[in-house]
């Protein structure tokens, strides 16, 4: 397989903080339409890896290519514009605006709230809001004030706000943290829906959830990849068992 087949190609990526290698010569490829889950003990470098991909942290060495374009040193906003979306654990939604408005202001033409509120909502924007609201399961809640949504719905809304920008790679950090059992199930369905036509990278600790959603699992440890493959394969890997059981 040539590099052009991957949406994301990371090669020999390294980042050091005061001489400590948080990411150490890491190589990782993500396919189009793939849902990849990254697991690993605390301090393994999972968050730092996502920070590097979205441009929040800059690499000391190595390269990150998105759709075969070099973006290792690109500014964060340019990486977003290129089609990379990142959701953090705490939702950053506008609590006093409706679900519709939250999605509308996330349409790329109106990134600033004031600009978007003054902006006439075109049919194109409305259609996009409708289709994203359906995708995130909030089509019946478009008029609801975002602050009144459940914890899970707020997380889905934020995913929807990212989808408004039509990312081709979406990265989510522990998307089910704090969710009820039912919300977790709905989030699994939601992730299956959104990875059709897009690639998704998820950091997750809940192994039942990982089993349910992952196309492929990457296990990180000490800034490197310890194992990669199906959940069954990595779970049976003695190196992984060793790290998790601390032998």
In the block, which residue shows the tokens 């948080």? 22
Residue 47 or 218: the one with the smaller Cβ distance to ligand ADP is 47
Give the distance between the most distant pair of CA atoms in the chain: 61
Collapsing DSSP to helix, strand or coil, 140 comes out as: helix
Q: How far is the CB of 37 from ligand ADP (least distance, A)?
A: 13
* Neighbouring C-beta atoms of residue 134, cutoff 10 Å: 13
Closest distance to ligand ADP from the beta carbon of 208 (Å): 20
Whichever of 130 and 222 has its CB closer to ligand ADP, that residue is 222
CB of 46 or CB of 128, closer to ligand ADP: 46
Taking each helix axis from N to C terminus, what angle separates 123-135 and 181-194, rounded to the nearest 10 degrees? Answer: 130
Whichever of 13 and 186 has its CB closer to ligand ADP, that residue is: 13
Q: Which stretches of 6-119 are assigned E, i.e. beta strand? A: 6-17, 20-31, 35-39, 61-66, 69-70, 84-87
Residue 17 or residue 148: which is nearer to ligand ADP going by CB? 17
**Shortest approach of ligand ADP to residue 221 CB, angstroms?**
9
> How many angstroms separate the CA atoms of 29 and 137, rounded?
30
| Residue 22 or 170 having the CB closest to ligand ADP | 22
- In 3D space, the residue among 159, 156, 162, 163 whose CA is nearest the CA of residue 186 turns out to be 156
Q: How far apart are CA 60 and CA 212, in angstroms?
A: 35
**Least separation, in Å, of the C-beta of 23 and ligand ADP?**
8
Q: Contact residues for ligand ADP (CB under 6 A)?
A: 17, 22, 40, 42-48
CB of 220 to ligand ADP, least distance (A): 6
Helix, strand or coil, per DSSP, at residue 84: strand
């Amino acid at each position: 397989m040539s590099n052009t087949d991957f949406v994301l190609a990371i090669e020999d990526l390294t980042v050091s903080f005061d001489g400590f290698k948080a990411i150490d010569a890491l190589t990782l490829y993500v396919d189009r339409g793939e849902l990849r889950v990254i697991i690993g003990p605390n301090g393994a470098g999972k968050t730092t890896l996502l920070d590097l991909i979205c441009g929040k942290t800059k690499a000391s060495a190595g390269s990150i290519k998105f759709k075969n374009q070099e973006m290792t040193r690109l500014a964060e906003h340019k990486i977003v514009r290129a089609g990379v979306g990142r959701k953090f654990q705490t939702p950053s939604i506008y609590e006093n605006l409706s679900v519709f408005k939250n999605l509308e202001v996330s349409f790329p033409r109106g990134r600033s709230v004031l600009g978007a509120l003054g902006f006439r909502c075109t049919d194109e924007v409305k259609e996009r809001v409708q289709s994203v609201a359906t995708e995130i399961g909030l089509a019946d809640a478009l008029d609801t004030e975002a602050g009144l949504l459940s914890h899970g719905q707020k997380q889905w809304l934020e995913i929807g706000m990212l989808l408004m920008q039509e990312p081709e790679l979406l990265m989510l950090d522990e998307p089910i943290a704090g969710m009820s059992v039912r919300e977790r199930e709905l989030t699994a369905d939601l992730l299956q829906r959104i990875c059709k036509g897009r690639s998704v990278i998820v950091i997750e600790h809940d192994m039942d959830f990982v089993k349910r959603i992952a196309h492929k699992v990457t296990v990180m440890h000490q800034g490197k990849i310890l194992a990669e493959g199906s959940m069954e394969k990595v779970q049976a890997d003695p190196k992984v068992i060793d790290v998790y059981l601390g032998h």
